[in-house]
């Protein structure tokens, strides 16, 4: 059985471990909430993480179509880009899958099958490719945040100057 079939057979266990590992990157109280509630309206972050991770996992196994993958990455990274994570912490969730997949494959028989090493290397390369897409998405999100902050500061300064009557509005 090839690597993709091995991973697909263990999909639910891998996704649960991956979700739990991502949830552990949050503070304790947030982590436990994310793990308990996955309903879309009671816990939109947990729901988005769960759906996004499943979509990414399926894309990795079925062949990565950049536009599809970027949709799932975008939904997760938009959330993590505005939270109190460093850039590396925001994107680290992607690399957790490598370790989890190896743990699930576990026994030496699976990993010792002919050609499995090449398939595992290709799988790892696909995860690395996800990280590169993620970096681009993360940077776009952060740029947008800084742009919004700069615009707000400019508008606030303009309003203060208007209130102080240091700027006259000549729109007549």
Instruction: Encode pLDDT of 36-88 as tens digits.
Output: 876 778 889 999 999 999 999 999 999 878 888 999 999 999 999 999 899 99
Question: 40 by DSSP, 3-state: which?
Answer: coil
Cα–Cα distance measured from residue 101 to residue 107, given in angstroms and rounded to the nearest whole number? 12
pLDDT band of residue 130 (cuts 50, 70, 90) is very high
Q: Which residues of 111-120 are buried (b: 16+ CB within 10 A; e: fewer)?
A: eeeeebeeeb
Q: Which domain holds residue 24?
A: 3-138
Residue 87 lies in a domain: yes
Decide if 34 is inside a domain: yes
CB atoms within 10 A of CB 122: 11
CA distances 154 to 73, 88, 143, 166, Å, are 32, 30, 16, 15
In a domain, 26, yes or no: yes
Q: Is residue 166 part of a domain?
A: no
Does residue 172 sit within a domain?
A: no
pLDDT of residue 108: 58
Number of domains observed in the structure of the chain: 1
Q: Is residue 64 in some structural domain?
A: yes
* 71 in any annotated domain: yes
Q: Which residue has the higher pLDDT, 11 or 167?
A: 11
Rounded mean pLDDT, 19-23: 95
Measure the CA–CA gap between 16 and 67, rounded to whole angstroms.
Answer: 25
Whole-angstrom distance between the N-terminal and C-terminal Cα of the chain? 77
Q: Is residue 40 part of a domain?
A: yes
Q: What is the DSSP letter of 43?
A: -
**What average pLDDT score do residues 131-153 get?**
92
């Amino acid at each position: 059985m090839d690597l993709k079939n091995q991973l697909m057979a263990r999909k639910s266990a891998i996704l649960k471990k991956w979700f739990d590992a991502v949830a552990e990157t949050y503070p304790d109280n947030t982590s436990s909430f994310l793990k308990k509630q996955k309903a879309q309206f009671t816990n939109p972050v947990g729901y988005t993480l769960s759906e996004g991770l499943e979509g990414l996992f399926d894309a990795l196994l079925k062949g990565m179509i950049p536009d599809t993958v970027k949709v799932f990455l975008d939904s997760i990274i938009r959330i993590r880009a505005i939270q109190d994570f460093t850039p590396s912490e925001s994107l680290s969730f992607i690399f957790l899958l490598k370790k989890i997949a190896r743990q699930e494959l576990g026994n030496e028989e699976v990993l010792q099958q002919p050609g499995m090493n090449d398939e595992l290397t290709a799988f790892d390369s696909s995860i690395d490719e996800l990280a590169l897409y993620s970096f681009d998405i993360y940077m776009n999100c952060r740029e947008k945040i800084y742009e919004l902050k700069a615009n707000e500061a400019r508008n606030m300064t303009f309003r203060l100057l208007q209130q102080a009557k240091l700027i006259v509005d000549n729109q007549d």
